[in-house]
Chain A
């Protein structure tokens, strides 16, 4: 009974994620063999980035165009970006996440897939090399969980030791890099499995393998690595990004509401101001595990900045060209939250393109994110408000979204239907893809452009006439 409920929850989760019904015991056709599988994890950010170099051989009887790249359980539903490129070139391969999963017999764990499509079919016995890059909204957990203000923060990362693949693997390695110190926890006695540090050429990494002949889905004890990471783990649990297009003022206004959290190690005792002042004094410019300054990278030539939160204006912010430095009301330590709103304005001409042929068509291109570096976003509600009376023709997003809606919303002096709001919801974003552009094509006629001020003027005229008439009413009884 319990199990069936679990299935149901699991399946609905996947329907929700991909809006496609998934098969739960899917096993890809055994047409590939991984000759070489080199996995490298970078832990220098507050999210994991993974790079897998694969050399695979078609061992089937026919030519194939698809490769199923297996994803371990802990990263299912947390993938932020999944790309693949042909080794040695700049040619990106067409790839997407696949709804079907495999349930492993021994452990009961799930394995998901990303599908990589090759530009041309690979003939039997032919080899093919490509690189997969993945970003996950996953980071190490603080280890230990509680530290003092002046302590350095360490994180613990747990991941599978052998490569997870639906195909047999001839040779494979695993490298974890991106920190000054690594230490394996609960290391196995077997030197074959154990991690090695200080391996040239890359000394700031821990190296595993090489391992030979691994069967599909073969599993070993998980790798547990503790590494130094004395930086805050920024997590934006919710970002509401509103972008207002004003064609009368010829400006593009941005307004962003952040719910920010530091996932790092918590303070062992309460926050002591005196210790904090000491640490600041000593640290000077040293990085630390708390977030004292948030640096926003805005589009070029912003103006009209503001920074406030739920209790009013925050006066501690500095602007340097297109960098906007925010000092939160209090330093954000591990487990602490901070909500705030910022806004700025840009010239519209930098973002809006008027099409040449049809004079009423406009193409708007806005960056996906403008937030702090080294940050993950759980949910992003992205809203673009185009002027009242505009018609949306086309929307293009660089990454898959969860939800999209086009509705009207009333704002200042919207006397008719209101601004047209395009709302797109994303999940699990990392700031690596901040520069990607969202494109919106809309039609905005001259008529609609003129109609707006005209209707406001008419309403004011009616109101004034009304007052005039009221004044002329004689209330005298006599």
Chain B
């Protein structure tokens, strides 16, 4: 109970420091989908066609999302309403992840209890409750699939371990049910789909086949697979995609092994050997040929790009820039392991070793889990999340083993066998570990508070008088869009902001974080990288009304569009290699610059012009320093914008919104209009340069 409390409260830092708000990017979509679900029926939700994103294509949202998260929170919302607590759906979504992480801790307790004993269980539960690697994805406001998925992962594994231990159909059915729930909630369910068969496969290889395994696996596989096919997004994948082939294969293998077992018990050993060899060869041949044939005929889906990048980290960079451009898909840096798990990371191998010493069936499962996950986590940051629970479990096993031995002071108390050295060593070892535990708790609190509790929509800063102020530019601009533009205005922005625009500004976007159509994203990238006239043409073709760019140069916000610009160029270069060339955006020396030495193509791109419009004027018309790139921009570097009107810029210039101009009534091109106006301006008034001394709130 207190662990549950700790797990929940540690995740509330963000609410206390900021407010009850949805974080990041993806959660905004989930939030919007949840709102749709509670305002419409469940069937409407499954058939939801969203015409407010991916304009003009739209998105078959109902069929391309994992509904588990939204249905769960909608269910909670309805239940609470029934019992007289009409809580706002936003608060349910914000507090969803902390609540479920409490459940995770409980599930981890029972799982570890099955592996070792209840003392290890308590430790494991305590670890998972506060380990930063898990907190990073489950703070209040991180309303994402992972928030519920890790809980379900643990619950499924718990029931699976129980099921395979006892051979109970009840537990395996529960495992299958939670597997189904997991499938409905997160794409990472594939991990379970492969891990459980892998476990069975290892056990068979080790000659540990029993009828308990047979019962448990068959129950789980059949119920789980049939149930998972009910999710629209998954559909027939379980029998077509290669990701799921292992489960199917092991299912077949298990039947054969069971048959072999049966035959073995009836036949004398020599005859059985021949039968076995012959039948194995035949099955192998048929199996491999069948797999090839089906893949060749296109009946089963090819391996997905994300999956390739699991095996070869450089695959994505070469072939699919859009996958590589997501920071979540980058390999983990080594310090991150320590940062996210602290001293558990070196208890982890020790725990695995201890499990090897024992090596019961369920230990094989944990070992397989840890080996697989360690590799995956090394490939993708995102998968660090699945590794964290097993680190907690094994570390808890190791630590409780240590404590079993060294906290046992019975011999020291017993006057007959008193031994000073043994007492001393006991004291030192247990003291050290208790100190480590103390450090761990301290580290976790610190990491959670500083690194993982920022909503990323709001940035903290200090006001001149030293009190905490918030930089709230994103919401300022999104809210402006929501209040003051046409309801079906189309906004072109880089895909990172798609969900936020959809969620906060409630306007139609061209591309968003559901990166299902690479070409469409490339179009936006191309427009951003093109000179004005061409960009205007591209954007007009797509009925765009507003263009939104993020500019961090004034306050030093590193994640702005100019820093993401190279990805836009690369992605569009992948589609139009003749028109967009990455090389053109670098200086002849091969540098990425935005100052006076920037290449001509760079300076002509609308991204450059839109980011820096008026920026040098702010610094008395002189040298303006871009605080992100530490380069000086002067007035001459920034070209004129004839095709776009600045309609809004947020307080710290972070979000700049431009409107596409109307065609000139006299039929001139907008460039001619601009040139004419400038010429007229020069004639009629000598440019009055006022130099107000502007102070900025940073």
Residues of A participating in the B interface, judged by any CB pair closer than 8 Å: 269-274, 277-278, 281-282, 309-316, 329-330, 335-339, 410-415, 456, 459, 475
Give every chain B residue within 8 A of A414 (Cβ-Cβ).
Answer: 84
A413 touches B84 (CB 8 A): yes
A270 touches B83 (CB 8 A): no
Give every chain B residue within 8 A of A282 (Cβ-Cβ).
Answer: 692
Binding site secondary structure of chain B: mixed
Q: A273-B614, A413-B85 are in contact. Are A329 and B646 (CB under 8 A)?
A: no
A281 touches B692 (CB 8 A): yes
Give every chain A residue within 8 A of B692 (Cβ-Cβ).
Answer: 277-278, 281-282
Indicate the member of B20, B484, B504 with the most A CB atoms within 10 Å: B484
Q: A71 to nearest B CB, angstroms?
A: 34
A269 to B674, CA, bound (A): 14
B646 touches A270 (CB 8 A): yes
Give every chain A residue within 8 A of B647 (Cβ-Cβ).
Answer: 270-271
Q: B1 to nearest A CB, angstroms?
A: 14
B479 touches A309 (CB 8 A): yes
A311 touches B504 (CB 8 A): yes
A415 touches B84 (CB 8 A): yes
B646 touches A272 (CB 8 A): yes
Question: Is B472 located at the chain interface by the 8 A CB criterion?
Answer: yes
Give every chain A residue within 8 A of B650 (Cβ-Cβ).
Answer: 273, 330
B84 touches A410 (CB 8 A): yes
Choose among A271, A272, A315, A459 the residue that contacts B83 (Cβ–Cβ < 8 A). A459
Give every chain A residue within 8 A of B482 (Cβ-Cβ).
Answer: 310-311
Give the residue name and chain of the A residue nearest to B471 (CB): A315
Indicate the member of A271, A282, A411, A459 with the most B CB atoms within 10 Å: A271
Give the residue name and chain of the A residue nearest to B693 (CB): A281
B646 touches A271 (CB 8 A): yes
A310 to B476, CA, bound (A): 11
A376 to B397, CA, bound (A): 69
Give every chain A residue within 8 A of B651 (Cβ-Cβ).
Answer: 273
In the complex, how many residues of chain B place their beta carbon closer than 8 angstroms to a beta carbon of chain A?
38
Question: Is B21 located at the chain interface by the 8 A CB criterion?
Answer: yes
Give every chain A residue within 8 A of B693 (Cβ-Cβ).
Answer: 281
A311 touches B475 (CB 8 A): yes
Give the residue name and chain of the A residue nearest to B649 (CB): A273
Give the residue name and chain of the A residue nearest to B505 (CB): A311
A269 to B645, CA, bound (A): 8
Give the residue name and chain of the A residue nearest to B94 (CB): A312
Question: Is B618 located at the chain interface by the 8 A CB criterion?
Answer: yes
List, sorted by A's number, 23 A–B pairs whose CB atoms are closer than 8 Å: A269-B646, A270-B648, A270-B658, A272-B614, A273-B650, A274-B618, A281-B692, A281-B694, A311-B482, A312-B19, A312-B20, A312-B475, A314-B472, A315-B458, A329-B475, A330-B479, A330-B480, A338-B483, A339-B483, A410-B86, A412-B85, A413-B85, A459-B84
A330 to B479, CA, bound (A): 9
Q: A270-B659, A337-B484, A412-B84 are in contact. Are A315 and B646 (CB under 8 A)?
A: no
Quick one: which of B623-675 are within 8 Å of A by CB?
A: 645-651, 653, 658-659
Give the residue name and chain of the B residue nearest to A339 (CB): B483
Give every chain B residue within 8 A of A311 (Cβ-Cβ).
Answer: 475, 478-479, 482, 504
B86 touches A411 (CB 8 A): yes
Q: A271-B647, A271-B648 are in contact. Are A337 and B483 (CB under 8 A)?
A: yes
Q: A17 to nearest B CB, angstroms?
A: 30
Q: A453 to nearest B CB, angstroms?
A: 13
Question: Is B617 located at the chain interface by the 8 A CB criterion?
Answer: yes
Choose among A310, A335, A413, A456 the residue that contacts B479 (Cβ–Cβ < 8 A). A310
A267 to B691, CA, bound (A): 23
Q: A132 to nearest B CB, angstroms?
A: 39
A313 touches B618 (CB 8 A): no
Give the residue name and chain of the A residue nearest to B474 (CB): A311
Q: A101 to nearest B CB, angstroms?
A: 37
A337 to B482, CA, bound (A): 9
Give every chain A residue within 8 A of B478 (Cβ-Cβ).
Answer: 311
Give every chain A residue within 8 A of B694 (Cβ-Cβ).
Answer: 277-278, 281
A336 touches B85 (CB 8 A): no
A274 touches B472 (CB 8 A): no
Give every chain B residue within 8 A of A330 (Cβ-Cβ).
Answer: 476, 479-480, 648, 650
Question: Is B469 located at the chain interface by the 8 A CB criterion?
Answer: yes
A315 to B469, CA, bound (A): 8
Q: A274 to nearest B CB, angstroms?
A: 4
Choose among A273, A310, A336, A410 the residue that contacts B484 (Cβ–Cβ < 8 A). A336
Q: A67 to nearest B CB, angstroms?
A: 46
Question: Is B371 located at the chain interface by the 8 A CB criterion?
Answer: no
Give every chain A residue within 8 A of B649 (Cβ-Cβ).
Answer: 271-274
Counting from the closest, the 3 A-B pairs by CB-CB distance are A273-B649, A270-B647, A313-B19
Indicate the member of A274, A312, A411, A459 with the most B CB atoms within 10 Å: A312
Question: Is B690 located at the chain interface by the 8 A CB criterion?
Answer: yes
A114 to B228, CA, bound (A): 72
- Per-position binary interface string of chain B over residues 594-623, scored 1 when its CB falls under 8 Å from any chain A CB and 0 otherwise: 000000000000000000001001100000
Give every chain B residue within 8 A of A281 (Cβ-Cβ).
Answer: 692-694
A281 to B21, CA, bound (A): 33
Q: A193 to nearest B CB, angstroms?
A: 39
Question: Is B263 located at the chain interface by the 8 A CB criterion?
Answer: no
A272 to B649, CA, bound (A): 7
B479 touches A329 (CB 8 A): yes
Q: A30 to nearest B CB, angstroms?
A: 53
Q: B680 to nearest A CB, angstroms?
A: 15
A271 to B480, CA, bound (A): 11
Give every chain A residue within 8 A of B484 (Cβ-Cβ).
Answer: 335-337
Q: B21 to nearest A CB, angstroms?
A: 5
Question: Is B470 located at the chain interface by the 8 A CB criterion?
Answer: yes
Give every chain B residue within 8 A of A309 (Cβ-Cβ).
Answer: 479
B475 touches A270 (CB 8 A): no
Give the residue name and chain of the B residue nearest to A278 (CB): B692
Q: B14 to nearest A CB, angstroms?
A: 12
A412 touches B86 (CB 8 A): yes
Q: A157 to nearest B CB, angstroms?
A: 27
Give the residue name and chain of the A residue nearest to B618 (CB): A274
A273 touches B653 (CB 8 A): yes
Give every chain B residue within 8 A of A313 (Cβ-Cβ).
Answer: 19-21
A316 to B478, CA, bound (A): 17
Give every chain A residue within 8 A of B618 (Cβ-Cβ).
Answer: 274, 277
Give the residue name and chain of the A residue nearest to B80 (CB): A412
A113 to B92, CA, bound (A): 54
